[in-house]
Amino acid sequence: MKPEILSPLQASKLLEQGAVLVDIRDRADFLREHIPQALSLPLTEITTGKTVEGSDQQPVIFHCQAGMRTTNNAEQLMRAASSGNVFLMSGGINAWKSAALPIIEDKKQPLPIIRQVHITAGILVLVGVIAGYAVDSRLFLLSGFIGAGLIFSGVSGFCGMASLLQKMPWNKAAK
């Protein structure tokens, strides 16, 4: 049995009736922005066996950024909730914001690591292309190196740039 899918408006109505909303995104993403009533329980913790507190008494609604993680992990999410009353919110927090529902945002928190990777990779590729034309054609290799790194990251699941960026001082914000 799969959980029922709710629109953000349906989820909002169920929250008014006491449902528990669980955000399965990483904690850094949650700290940057989240739905006011949401509890943070990252998928990485759910996969290690952590469960939703209070889920035996109330319906539980899970959400992520755009809905893919909740859909792809529906069986694990159902096991994380004690009650059989489990729902997935379609479209995640992106759909919630599109429906003009309230969020809590803390712009003092760092950007999500994946966005930092995209920005850094884009800058390095652009610098490599400009420097390759303006200075020395061997500098095109910088763009090639970044492209190869992105391919490796996609294939292996390991991103060296993300690991490096996580160690940067701006990503050590107080929780």
Q: What does the DSSP assignment read for 57-78?
A: TS-EEEE-SSSHHHHHTHHHHH
Give the pLDDT of residue 47. Answer: 86
The average pLDDT across 119-126 equals 96
Judged against a pLDDT cut of 60, whether residue 84 lies above it is answered with yes
* Domain around 34: 4-105
Mean pLDDT, the chain, integer: 90
Positions annotated as catalytic residues are 64
| CA distance to 98, 123, 130, 137, per residue, from 30 (Å) | 17, 26, 37, 43
Same domain, 13 and 89: yes
| CA distance to 20, 58, 69, 141, per residue, from 17 (Å) | 10, 9, 25, 58
Judged against a pLDDT cut of 70, whether residue 174 lies above it is answered with no
Cα dihedral value 46, 92, 174, 45, nearest 10: 0
The model's pTM: 0.73
SS3 41: coil
Q: Where does the pLDDT of residue 110 fall: very low under 50, low under 70, confident under 90, or very high at 90 and above?
A: confident
* Pair type for strands 20-23 and 86-89: unpaired
Q: Where does the pLDDT of residue 38 fall: very low under 50, low under 70, confident under 90, or very high at 90 and above?
A: very high
pLDDT tens-digit map of 137-156:
999 999 999 999 999 998 98
End-of-domain residue from the set 105, 133, 152: 105
Give the pLDDT of residue 55. Answer: 66
Same domain, 86 and 38: yes
CATH number at residue 58: 3.40.250.10
The average pLDDT across 100-118 equals 89
Same domain, 44 and 121: no
Q: Within a 10 A sphere around the Cβ of 71, how many other Cβ atoms?
A: 17
For 76, half-sphere exposure in the C-beta direction (CA atoms, 13 angstrom radius) is: 16
Specify the higher pLDDT residue, 44 or 135: 135
Same domain, 120 and 48: no
Give the pLDDT of residue 173. Answer: 58
Kindly give, in sequence order, each residue whose CB lies less than 8 Å from that of residue 168, ignoring residues fewer than 6 positions away: none
Give the torsion sign (CA, 144, 150, 155, 156). positive
